[in-house]
């Protein structure tokens, strides 16, 4: 039952073969069973049970609210949730209960979706491994799968693969089958990176297509709410619900269409697929390279025209990204002073001492390490040399993409990460800044240009590591539906990963299959 897609579960609800309350309870049980993953910071069990019971009644009356009614979902803990603690995985926001919900959260609740809880992340979304939060690291569910245990030789109790970040908790929740969809945020790849490493579909929409209101900002000019699901069709369904202008977010734009219903099939022979030569980056693993070539060959055999293209300013992108990121982080983190909400130091000898002590105690070293250079880049004597120059390079990066698409290329096919998920012991050998530069190298140019990018996970049989990897598609602004249609076509050609944990029983497998054929803290 937990292995079904949103579309399959919604049909089962409508036909009366399962109740939302039954599915909700199975998800809550799954969360408890996979507590060792540390995917959730807060589990809203009481609230979820009440929401599911209300969904039961709507289906009994035959008046469901929509395709997401009764569907269990999770939310990254940097989205505000009314009267539910929102921490950004930081001591700074301990005990903070927002008086409102983020627009995207409220839209899901208005559709009747059932909120299971808030998921773990890197503190204030600053990281690429979900290892640097105040509540401890998130473990990749695939670390506990039988193939990985057999092939890696690692003991998952003492060493395990990371989830990627910063939306690692959301990716782990979907991958471990405790949630049918999860919201993440994507500033430099924070949805696509963990989606790739955990074997789920991850979607970074066009900037402005989905409201940022209520998403605690990291980099306002790049932040985008991300979507994680188990199928491309499910991601399209969720995007159709979340998209749209929001009076509370002036950066939102009118969507090109009301829904994102995907065609059952598309003619890929009419597509031109670009392979950016700059994405053959140093450190790219042979496994990623071979799968990249494999998928390109699949498209070419189907008649698509696959050709090399150039994005010449990509080599400067990661440096440019870190300058702009640090500058906006310094600005955004200035609001956390301990006076109105969140952590407040006992130091009260002076206002300046209170500010300094509160921020030192509340922020971890990673956050403080980005605020400091950010303030330097924004100094009058540094502004033109660093911040302004980075903005100029950002424009050139966006122009590179625009020129490729204006020349007739429909979409780009690129890697998402340099390799599969590294072990935790290996990952933490380097500092956060170095790790982020390595892990964001393929993903952050898309955020710099504001473009859409779905992530397609690849099947395990072809992978020697037995850990998932994923490739991303990149398209022109507002071409989200076209990209999702191609991703859906690839989903049918390349079997997406299906996790099997040692304690999953054959009975659970049969129950889910039969249904298809017929159709932490706890608050």
Find the catalytic residue in 21, 130, 152, 166. Answer: 166
Q: Residue 394 and residue 324: Cα distance in Å, rounded? A: 9
* pLDDT of res. 463: 72
Q: pTM value?
A: 0.95
pLDDT at residue 100 tops 90: yes
Tell whether the model's pLDDT for residue 515 goes beyond 50.
no
Residues paired with 272 in a beta bridge = 305
Average pLDDT over residues 433-454: 95
Q: pLDDT band at 400, cuts 50/70/90?
A: very high
**What is the predicted pLDDT for the residue at 480?**
97
Report the alpha-carbon distance of residue 323 to residue 391 in Å, rounded.
9
Of 143-147, 172-176, 298-302, 369-373, the range with the lowest mean pLDDT is: 143-147
**pLDDT tier for residue 505 given thresholds of 50, 70 and 90:** low
CB distance 421 to 161 below 8 Å:
yes
Query: Does the pLDDT of residue 70 top 90, yes or no?
Result: yes
> pLDDT at residue 517 above 70?
no
Q: Measure the CA–CA gap between 415 and 418, rounded to whole angstroms.
A: 7
pLDDT at 415: 97
What residues pair up with 415 in beta bridges, in sequence order?
471
- Looking up tokens 């980005």 gives 370
Residue 67 confidence (pLDDT) above 70: yes
Q: Select which of 26, 76, 107, 482 is catalytic.
A: 76
Q: Considering 130, 167, 170, 190, which one is annotated as catalytic?
A: 190
Cβ of 158: how many Cβ atoms within 10 Å?
8
Q: Which residues pair with 471 in a beta bridge?
A: 415, 456
pLDDT category, 299, cuts 50, 70, 90? very high
Per-residue pLDDT, averaged over 355-374, amounts to 96
Helix axes 232-242, 480-493, angle to 10 degrees: 160
> Of the given ranges (19-33, 296-310, 409-423, 426-440), which has the lowest mean pLDDT?
426-440
Does pLDDT of 261 surpass 90?
A: no
Q: What is the per-residue pLDDT across 171-214, written as a single tens digit (0 to 9) for each?
A: 999 999 999 999 999 999 999 999 999 999 999 999 999 999 99
Mean pLDDT of 163-169: 97
Question: Is residue 33 flagged as an active site residue?
Answer: no
User: Which pLDDT value is given to residue 269?
Assistant: 97
The answer to whether the bond into 301 is cis (omega within 30° of 0) is no
- The verdict on whether 190 is a catalytic residue reads yes
> Looking at residues 362-372, what average pLDDT do you find?
97
Q: How far apart are CA 174 and CA 197, in angstroms?
A: 12
- Give the contacts of 361 (CB within 8 A, at least 6 positions apart): 91, 343, 345
Q: What is the C-alpha to C-alpha distance for residues 523 and 510, in angstroms, rounded to an integer?
A: 33
Mean pLDDT of 113-128: 98
Is 32 part of the annotated catalytic residue set?
A: no
Token pair of 78, please?
Answer: 């940097």
Computed over every residue of the chain, the mean pLDDT equals 93
CB contact burial 491-516 (16+ within 10 A = b; e otherwise): beebebbebeeeebeeeeeeebeebe
Out of 92-106, 122-136, 420-434, which region has the weakest mean confidence (pLDDT)?
Answer: 420-434
pLDDT of amino acid 215: 98
Three-state secondary structure call for residue 482 = helix
**pLDDT exceeds 90 at position 514:** no
Q: What percent of the chain has pLDDT over 70?
A: 95
- Residue 83 is predicted with a pLDDT of 97
């Amino acid at each position: 039952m937990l292995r079904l897609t949103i579309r399959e579960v919604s049909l089962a609800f409508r036909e009366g073969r399962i109740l939302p309350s039954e599915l909700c309870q199975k998800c809550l049980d799954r969360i408890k069973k996979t507590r060792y993953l540390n995917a959730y910071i807060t589990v809203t069990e009481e609230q979820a049970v009440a929401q599911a019971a209300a969904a039961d009644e709507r289906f009994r009356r035959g008046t469901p609210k929509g395709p997401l009614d009764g569907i269990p979902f999770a939310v990254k803990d940097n989205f505000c949730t009314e009267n539910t603690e929102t921490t950004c995985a930081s001591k700074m926001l301990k005990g903070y209960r927002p008086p409102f919900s983020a627009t995207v959260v409220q839209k899901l609740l208005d559709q009747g979706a059932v909120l299971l809880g808030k998921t773990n992340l890197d503190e204030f979304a600053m990281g690429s491994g979900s290892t640097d939060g105040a509540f401890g690291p998130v473990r990749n569910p695939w670390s506990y799968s039988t193939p990985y245990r057999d092939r890696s030789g690692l003991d998952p109790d003492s060493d395990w693969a990371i989830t990627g970040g910063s939306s690692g908790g959301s990716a782990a929740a979907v991958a471990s089958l405790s949630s049918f969809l999860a919201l993440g945020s994507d500033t430099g790849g924070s949805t696509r990176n963990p989606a790739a490493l955990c074997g789920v579909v991850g979607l970074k929409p066009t900037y402005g297509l989905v409201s940022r209101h209520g998403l605690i900002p990291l980099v306002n000019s790049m932040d985008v709410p991300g979507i994680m699901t188990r199928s491309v069709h499910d991601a399209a369904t969720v995007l159709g619900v979340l998209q749209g202008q929001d009076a509370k977010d002036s950066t939102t734009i009118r969507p090109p269409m009301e829904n994102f219903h995907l065609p059952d099939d598309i003619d890929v022979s009419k597509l031109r697929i670009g392979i950016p030569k700059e994405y053959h980056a140093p450190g790219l693993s042979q496994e990623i390279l071979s799968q990249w070539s494999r998928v390109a060959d699949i498209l070419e055999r189907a008649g698509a025209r696959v050709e090399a293209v150039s994005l010449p300013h990509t080599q400067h992108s990661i440096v440019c990204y870190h300058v702009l990121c640090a500058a906006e982080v310094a600005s955004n983190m200035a609001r956390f002073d301990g006076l109105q909400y969140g952590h407040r130091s006992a130091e009260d000898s002076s206002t300046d001492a209170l500010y300094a002590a509160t921020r030192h105690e509340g922020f971890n070293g990673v956050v403080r390490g980005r605020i400091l250079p950010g303030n330097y880049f924004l100094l009058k004597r540094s502004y033109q040399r660093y911040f302004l120059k980075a903005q100029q390079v950002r424009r050139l990066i966006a122009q590179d993409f625009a020129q490729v698409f204006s020349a007739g290329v429909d979409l780009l096919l690129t890697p998402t990460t340099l390799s599969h998920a590294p072990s935790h012991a290996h990952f933490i050998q380097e500092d956060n800044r170095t790790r982020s530069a390595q892990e964001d190298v393929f993903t952050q140019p898309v955020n710099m240009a504001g473009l859409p990018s779905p992530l397609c996970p690849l099947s395990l049989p072809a992978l020697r590591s037995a850990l998932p990897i994923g490739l991303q598609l990149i398209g022109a602004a507002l071409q989200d539906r076209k990209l999702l249609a191609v991703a859906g076509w690839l989903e049918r050609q390349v079997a997406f990963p299906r996790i099997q944990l040692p304690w999953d029983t054959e009975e659970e497998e049969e129950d889910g299959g039969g249904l298809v054929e017929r159709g932490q803290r706890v608050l």
